[in-house]
Structure 1
Amino acid sequence: MADTKKDTLNILGVTIKPGESIEANFDVANLHTSTPVNVPVIIERSKKSGPVVLFTAGIHGDEVNGVEIVRQLIAKGINKPKLGTIICMPVINIFGFINLKREFPDGRDLNRVFPGSPNGSLASRVAHKLIHDIVPHVDYIMDFHTGGSGRFNAPQIRIVENEGHLNKLAKIFGAPFVLYSKNLTKSFRHTCTKLKKPMLLFEGGKSLHIDDLITNTGVNGAKRVLNHLGMLSSKFKVSTPKKDCILINQSKWKRAKYSGMFKASVKISSKVQKGDILGNITDPYGKFNYFVKADNSGYIINVNEAPIVYQGDALFHISTKL
């Protein structure tokens, strides 16, 4: 493992010895006002050698619930390992976070430009720095995301199917759902997979929103994985998930047949049967009321919480095969 063969860790221009705690700076560019932007990287090392785990969030600047999960790991001291090293990067896309926007100021999605380039766009440069200056030092990665604008994701771990080691870690994490999904080209997960750096990608909640259930699921899952690796301090208790995680390898979106005012009537994570009413679409004048029904039985893993929808908008993400 990356932390067992040498006493010192040299990263982002700083040297961290066993037992030390350091806040490094992941700086790429100033604001347009020439104001420096400091992106803190919190590094905690035990005196005992062991794995190096990286916690990341804020790849999309509006996904604040992921940022909150990593913040709590730091604030509660969960990131102080019994052995090995824990690196926390709560906000990678600081430029989007400042403006509460998903993308970078140039409109690029950071999670679609990996592995990046030192001479490319701002997003590409950030991706390159992350891949070349941070990722080579780590053994495991947990990356925290949320759903898109107005769409609430059930807490879930996303991994590629038939990856035995990741499948075991995903079950240990203990989120209600494990969604098997292919790695998107030029995503952070895809690049880390190519570099043979195992990653658990957590999805939960929606953008510009902090939800206690999602936060608790993320924090408790991180604790379980750290405990499995022998890194969690003995002062922290590890809870057992209330239910076994549900494995999902196929799913599809239920889309709006009409435009109008929308209200969901089913709860996130619930199981529905084919033909069940999921919600309804109405008009502002009380003349129209269309009931949205399930095309198949399955679990609701995403709900659109927007009050207004247009024909073709995604309303529900439903598992189709377990």
Structure 2
Amino acid sequence: MEKITIAGHELTSGKTIKDHIHVGGTEIHIPHVIICGEKPGKTVLLTAGIHNAEYVGIQAAIELSNEISPKDLSGNLIIIPLANRSGFENRTMSMVYEDGKNLNRVFPGDKDGSAADRLAHLLFDAFIKNADAYIDLHSGDGYETLIPYAYYVGEAPAHDMAKKMVDCVNTKYCVRSTCTTGGAYNIASMSGIPSVLIERGQLSLLPAEEVKADKEDVINILKFLGLLEGEFVTYPKTELREFSDDAPFTGCWYPDKKVGDRFSKGDKFGEIRDYFGKTLHTAIASTDGVLIHQCSSLSIIKDGPMVTYGIIQGIC
């Protein structure tokens, strides 16, 4: 049998590897865990912390890395519990500390670029491209509320398999994404690797029930993919087409709706006001839909996130 080498580690049946890998040209070292099953099977990658303040996925990945045993596994499970480590250690929300770039906008990266570019290149070259399937865990950022949902790239080569993975996620909604660039799971999808992104959690909080739900989703997908024994469960979903309205002004944000609300064309999302209380902008819905995440801090920044919503496509 041909030996598999991941991030410089030759994978050995029944072994668990816990290590750090250095991002060349930086001082960043990324923690990773490789659980090598006692039986042959697929190699699946799980990442969290690409956005470093999205804590639910990070904690779920840490716990799974200690709870899944090689004796229960067919194939290999690679877990990167904290992709943007320097951002986490400096509380930079979505950004890589060294260069201020959003890591999930620069994949597949550049080994000769700035820190975020180099980090993305390493993650893609050492891990993502060597996976047979990929699960990426995200949440609402420190200023965002969010309902749980999952993404897959609709036009990707392996979209049929990705959709089946999404079916294993216990959420009410999924988004068939049209974005094929920039993000880790987007680039993986367009490289022929069936990939899903799960959104669960908000405001940099860490509710135990949401960590548990993330773990259950990952385990359910691993059962579907054959890495773990047992019956997997599928969940019907409403499929959405996603749209976002960014803020046209910096100021104070006063939302009128909560995430999960259905709305109609002409409904008011909220207002941006200046520091004297004068209305600068009234955000109005241009279509019917459902609000899936939004800025929920008083502070809102021009050209930054304001509201993201889905237009219902049907039941899938």
TM-score range, shorter chain: 0.7 to 0.9
Amino acid at match of 1:132: D
Kept after mapping to 2: 8 A contact 1:79/1:86: no
Larger Rg, first or second structure (1 or 2): 1
Q: Give the structure 2 partner of residue 18 of structure 1.
A: 13
CA distance in 2: counterparts of 1:116 and 1:152, whole angstroms: 29
CA distance in 2: counterparts of 1:25 and 1:54, whole angstroms: 16
Question: Is residue 2:244 matched to residue 1:248?
Answer: no
Relative to structure 1, the CA distance from residue 157 to residue 81 in structure 2 (aligned partners, 3 Å threshold; closer, same or farther) is farther
- Flag structure 1 segments of 5+ consecutive residues without an equivalent: none
Q: Give the structure 2 partner of residue 28 of structure 1.
A: 23
Deviation per CA, 1:194-232: give whole Å up to 9, x if none. 321111112233353334454333222111111112222
Amino acid at match of 2:110: S
Q: 1:141 aligns with which of 134, 137, 141?
A: 134
Question: Is residue 2:117 matched to residue 1:121?
Answer: no
CA distance in 1: counterparts of 2:250 and 2:84, whole angstroms: 34
Q: Give the structure 2 partner of residue 54 of structure 1.
A: 45
Kept after mapping to 2: 8 A contact 1:25/1:40: yes
Shift of the alpha carbon at 1:308? 4.2
Q: What are the residue-to-residue correspondences of 1:130-209 with 2, within 5 Å?
A: 130-161=123-154, 163-206=159-202, 208-209=204-205
Shift of the alpha carbon at 1:105? 0.8
Deviation per CA, 1:226-250: give whole Å up to 9, x if none. 111222255xx96775xx3210025
Residue identity (%): 24
Report the aligned-residue RMSD.
3.4
- Flag structure 2 segments of 5+ consecutive residues without an equivalent: none
Question: Is residue 2:311 matched to residue 1:320?
Answer: yes
Q: What secondary structure does 1:206 align onto?
A: coil
Shift of the alpha carbon at 1:292? 7.0
Kept after mapping to 2: 8 A contact 1:14/1:24: no
Amino acid at match of 1:178: C
CA distance in 2: counterparts of 1:183 and 1:107, whole angstroms: 22
Shift of the alpha carbon at 1:90? 0.6
Q: Give the structure 1 partner of residue 58 of structure 2.
A: 67
Relative to structure 1, the CA distance from residue 21 to residue 248 in structure 2 (aligned partners, 3 Å threshold; closer, same or farther) is same
Relative to structure 1, the CA distance from residue 112 to residue 277 in structure 2 (aligned partners, 3 Å threshold; closer, same or farther) is closer
CA distance in 2: counterparts of 1:203 and 1:53, whole angstroms: 19
Relative to structure 1, the CA distance from residue 228 to residue 307 in structure 2 (aligned partners, 3 Å threshold; closer, same or farther) is same
Relative to structure 1, the CA distance from residue 181 to residue 78 in structure 2 (aligned partners, 3 Å threshold; closer, same or farther) is farther
CA distance in 2: counterparts of 1:291 and 1:120, whole angstroms: 40
Kept after mapping to 2: 8 A contact 1:43/1:88: yes
Deviation per CA, 1:26-60: give whole Å up to 9, x if none. 2125876xxxx542211111121011110011122
Q: Report which stretch shifted further, 49-58 or 293-302.
A: 293-302
CA distance in 2: counterparts of 1:17 and 1:213, whole angstroms: 34
Kept after mapping to 2: 8 A contact 1:255/1:313: yes
Question: Is residue 2:182 matched to residue 1:216?
Answer: no
Kept after mapping to 2: 8 A contact 1:183/1:189: no
CA distance in 1: counterparts of 2:284 and 2:105, whole angstroms: 34
Aligned length: 308
Q: What are the residue-to-residue correspondences of 1:297-308 with 2, within 5 Å?
A: 297-308=288-299
Q: What secondary structure does 1:249 align onto?
A: strand
Relative to structure 1, the CA distance from residue 273 to residue 48 in structure 2 (aligned partners, 3 Å threshold; closer, same or farther) is same
Amino acid at match of 2:191: L
CA distance in 1: counterparts of 2:304 and 2:22, whole angstroms: 38
Relative to structure 1, the CA distance from residue 271 to residue 126 in structure 2 (aligned partners, 3 Å threshold; closer, same or farther) is same
Amino acid at match of 2:11: I
